[in-house]
Amino acid sequence: MTRMRFLCAPYSGASATVFRPWVELLPSNIALSAVELPGRGSRFSESPLTCMEDLIDQLYDAVRPHLRMPFVLFGHSLGAVVMFELAHRFVDSHLIPERLIVSGQRALHRPSPRSPIHNLPDEQFISEINQYGGTQAGIFENEELRSIFLPLLRADFQLGETYVPHTTSPLCCDLSAYGGLQDPEVSVADIQAWRRYTEKQFNYRMFPGNHFFLHQHNGLVVESLLADLSKE
């Protein structure tokens, strides 16, 4: 019998399918629900959003009716920011998550080491994207894939780079922060700094791997998050 819903949001350019391998790793009493953002997967025909407030409005309306059990929020990179905002929206409506897990994302008050890239010319933008190391090899050499994927990535980076937190007040739920030890974008200090965003229990975990450690060590990540959930 399902006792908890595990709601996930992916990183820039990704669809809900990136969490598909986790289904077999989670126990049967945890129902995994990955949100599909506009412009990808089953919502491919929709235009991607570049305004965080509009995105949170959409997600809240879509998800709220399905939360009839305890739930946990998880987001990686851009998805972590999305879930932070969604957590506050739920709290404002007196629906408290059991835990928020932010992954691969620096704490909101920590400055980015990079300048914004969403408005760069295509070739410069692609060069910057390739430095993150998570883009499928050759995707920008294929004209059809490039025409699909480039606008989506640009929109997602605009969404993240123009984001201003609705509030930075601490949440009234437990918070975990995960990071990659070899992530050049997000340091251990960036992960530890999430402590200020909860008035409840906080912990952080560092994993081997770069910015995409959740794929490189998905079994270890799921094992760790289950350990965190067992503390509820």
The span from the CA of 59 to the CA of 43, in Å, is 13
What pLDDT is stored for residue 135 in this prediction? 65
What pLDDT is stored for residue 74 in this prediction? 98
* Stated pTM of the model: 0.94
- Low-confidence stretches of the chain (pLDDT < 70) are 1, 133-138, 232
| Annotation marks residue 147 as catalytic | no
Catalytic residue among 77, 127, 169, 230: 77
The conformational region for residue 209 under phi > 0 = left, psi -120 to 50 = alpha, else beta, is left
Q: Phi/psi of residue 33, each to 5°?
A: -130, 110
For the chain, state the CA radius of gyration: 17
Q: Is the dihedral of CA 116, 122, 126, 127 positive or negative?
A: negative
Q: Kindly state the helix (H) or strand (E) to which residue 102 belongs, with its residue range.
A: strand 99-103
What pLDDT is stored for residue 232 in this prediction? 54
